[in-house]
Amino acid sequence: MRTAAETQVRRPSAVRVLVILLATTAAATVVVELLNWWYAPEQGFGLAVRTGWALLRSFGFLLLIGHVQRGRTVARPFGLILAVTTIFAVGRLIVPRQGVPPLPGLLGFAILTALCVAVVWLLYRSSALAGHLVRHRPRLVIDRDGISWRETPPRRPQASAWLLTSRVAAFTYSPLMLVPALVAGGSILDGRLTAVPAVLFWFGAGITASYAVLFCTAFLMRGKDWARGLLIVVTVAVLAVDLPLCWWLLGVDGLVRDGGPLVAAAGLTLYGLRRAARAPDAAQPEPQP
């Protein structure tokens, strides 16, 4: 008779290494942000909003740990976009408006960047992790055996890794628009009342972007070709709205700090769509002469 310890499936060592690495990255994100806040010459409303948003990414890494331990397929694209946007979110806060960044902040940012690169490398280059991250989310199932909550493969066609990456990257459009809109809202508190309509429009556009992305990706995961084109249109529209507003309300500094991460997310979305579109063509056999 086997004991529970004998029948328990042992996780690959790469999973344990990645979990430790993700926990270290989450802690490093908090430390670097606190260092940047400590050395910042101007601790204003905008810096507080951007710092708070960057600190929330530490919880993202903790959430990713749960996906990795459960072997979820979404861990790869989630880890990629989390690492990329974290580097941009933290990097935009290290550089002050004037002068050079403080040495502790630069060292912390270098360490955090190395950790993020290591996370992405493990997620996409480790064969042990590739065999582990194969499970789907559990869902409510009703059958002749009754009602149960268990893991079931999705009914839609299996989505490629690049398609999942585009989906996760596109879901960041809304928060990447709402954060600078909230920063611009601080100008209203400073007496710039003419910015009220633009800020309200910015908030509305950010919320609308979330629903538009949800609609597009819902059909994109079901293999609808028109959803790919619609997501490209949404991406272009998001950039066309956000970047000019960043430049107008937050200046060149805001355009770089807040527009840069959105451009990176949009680029990753479009690149993922392109790679996903090429995958079926590459899988088809060449015609025989």
Average pLDDT over residues 255-263: 85
Q: Phi and psi dihedrals of 142, rounded to 5? A: -120, 115
pTM over 0.75: no
- pLDDT (tens digit, 9 = 90+) per residue, 69-122? 888 888 888 888 888 888 877 776 676 666 666 777 788 888 989 999 999 999
Q: Are 186 and 45 in contact (CB under 8 A)?
A: yes
Q: Compute the distance between CA of residue 287 and CA of residue 270 in angstroms, rounded to an integer.
A: 29
CB-facing half-sphere around the CA of 208: CA atoms within 13 A: 12
- Tell me: pLDDT of 7 over 60: no
Which token pair is 119? 């996370």
Which among 65, 67, 66, 62 is positioned nearest to 29, based on CA atoms?
62
Contacts of 26 (CB under 8 A, 6+ apart): 58, 59, 61, 62
In order of 95, 195, 251, the CA distances from 65 in angstroms are 30, 41, 37
Q: Compute the distance between CA of residue 186 and CA of residue 177 in angstroms, rounded to an integer.
A: 15
